[in-house]
Amino acid sequence: MKAVVMRNQTLVVEQLTAPQPAHGQVLVKTLACGICGSDLHMYHHCENVLSGFRNANIPVAFDPRQGLVMGHEYCAEILDHGPDCDKKLKVGTRVCALPFVISPTRFEHIGFSTPYPGGYGEQMVLAEPMLVAVPGDLPAPIAALTEPLTVAVHAVNRAQLSGEEVPLVIGCGPIGLAVIAALKARGVGPVIAADFSPARRALAEKFGADQVVDPAVNSPYASWLQVAAPSDYDMRSPLALLGLGRQPRPCVVFECVGVPGMIQQMIQHAPPRSRLIVVGMCMQSDQIEPLMALPKELNVHFTFGYTAEEFVHTLHALADGSLDAAAMITGTVGLDGVADAFTQLARPEQHAKVMIVHD
């Protein structure tokens, strides 16, 4: 099969031996696969990322010298079943799948695993219990958005929203856009979104953000106060710190950037008793000042991944139209265009989500 292989800090199209399904596994043909921000991080900072995973006891590891076929946001078609499969989903069924192979002694993350190549290849081996049939005629590129959208759905679930909150989304890349979509699907709002990129601010409006802010011109947090707080509320006053007097609606900030300094920025500028939901995956060391967070009684939630139930729910929400994310896809490429897409994705004015579409 053809596949895009990350090798020696390059992306090259190679001919590889097609994978073979083992017990309880299925062989699939990749139909579409999204390029994820974590793929970009892995490409540019592979050794740092793997070292951080080791230090955090996260069971994602591979030898980059052997070459890696990335891709964990995919839609595929079943070609064959390995031994001991129940075959409830027949050959020809289009599927999405949680990108994991799990046993009592082993965990492999498809797309970040040497034995299990991801959706940057023409074929994959997936664990049968992780498969979810794609409903109806949902296009494969839209179905492939299930994985990143479920990350956002999980983050919104972690926020434990009551419906009274005014959310602030910092960063309108694919995950920030997905968070906006998940919030609007729940009827939570108004939603305020902030990004330096005009193109991404325009996408945030398409996804339903009620107010879009350019941080170079206006503080997102000042904009939040104008929407959510009484006119006489001063978040820096002793009364605000103690929760006395007229109060704003609850503040929930979703950090969807993932660069050093963002958590500290939220701690410094969010009003007292805010919930700070860290969704962006920062791959470097960072610093915060707890002395700022303590008297403000801030809750900081880190969010990662999702549950199987959330994954299934998100796929069906895409199919029935209750979750609309088609505008996230701003470009499509074949395998030969992946390396150039990585370069383009470094410039936020050009793209949000680039989808690899297989012939």
Q: Are residues 292 and 194 located together in one domain of the fold?
A: yes
Q: Is residue 307 part of a domain?
A: no
292 CB-side CA count, 13 A: 15
Q: Are residues 140 and 115 located together in one domain of the fold?
A: yes
CATH of the domain at 274: 3.40.50.720
Q: Are residues 112 and 183 located together in one domain of the fold?
A: no
pTM: 0.93
Q: Are residues 135 and 49 located together in one domain of the fold?
A: yes
Q: Are residues 213 and 280 located together in one domain of the fold?
A: yes
* More reliable by pLDDT, 33 or 47: 33
Quick one: pLDDT band at residue 57, thresholds 50, 70, 90?
Answer: confident
CATH of the domain at 53: 3.90.180.10
Supply 184's token pair: 């609007």
Q: What b/e readout covers 225-245, taking b as 16+ CB neighbours within 10 angstroms?
A: bebbbeeebebeeeebeeeee
Q: Is residue 162 part of a domain?
A: yes
CA distance 86 to 127: 12
* More reliable by pLDDT, 136 or 285: 136
Q: Are residues 136 and 273 located together in one domain of the fold?
A: no
Q: Are residues 79 and 187 located together in one domain of the fold?
A: no
267 CB-side CA count, 13 A: 17
Instruction: Give the structural domain span for 80.
Output: 2-145+325-357
**67-122 confidence digits (pLDDT tens):** 999 999 999 999 999 999 999 999 999 999 999 999 777 899 999 999 999 999 99
Q: Are residues 347 and 265 located together in one domain of the fold?
A: no
Q: Are residues 153 and 135 located together in one domain of the fold?
A: no
Is the peptide bond preceding residue 190 cis, with omega within 30 degrees of 0? yes
What are the residues whose beta carbons fall under 8 Å from the beta carbon of 140, sequence distance 6 or more?
A: 31, 32, 75, 94, 134, 357
* More reliable by pLDDT, 167 or 60: 167
Q: Are residues 225 and 273 located together in one domain of the fold?
A: yes
At 137 the pLDDT is 95
Q: Are residues 84 and 194 located together in one domain of the fold?
A: no
**221-275 confidence digits (pLDDT tens):** 999 999 999 999 988 899 888 888 889 999 999 999 999 999 999 999 999 999 9
Q: Are residues 234 and 167 located together in one domain of the fold?
A: yes
At 1 the pLDDT is 96
CA distance 32 to 140: 6
**Which 3 state secondary structure label does DSSP give 179?**
helix
Indicate whether 292 pLDDT > 80. yes
Q: Is residue 264 part of a domain?
A: yes
CA distances from 26 to 70, 80, 122, 140, 270 (A): 18, 6, 14, 18, 48
How many domains would you assign to the chain?
2
Q: Is residue 234 part of a domain?
A: yes
Q: Is residue 316 part of a domain?
A: no
Q: Is residue 218 part of a domain?
A: yes
Q: Is residue 314 part of a domain?
A: no
Q: Is residue 311 part of a domain?
A: no
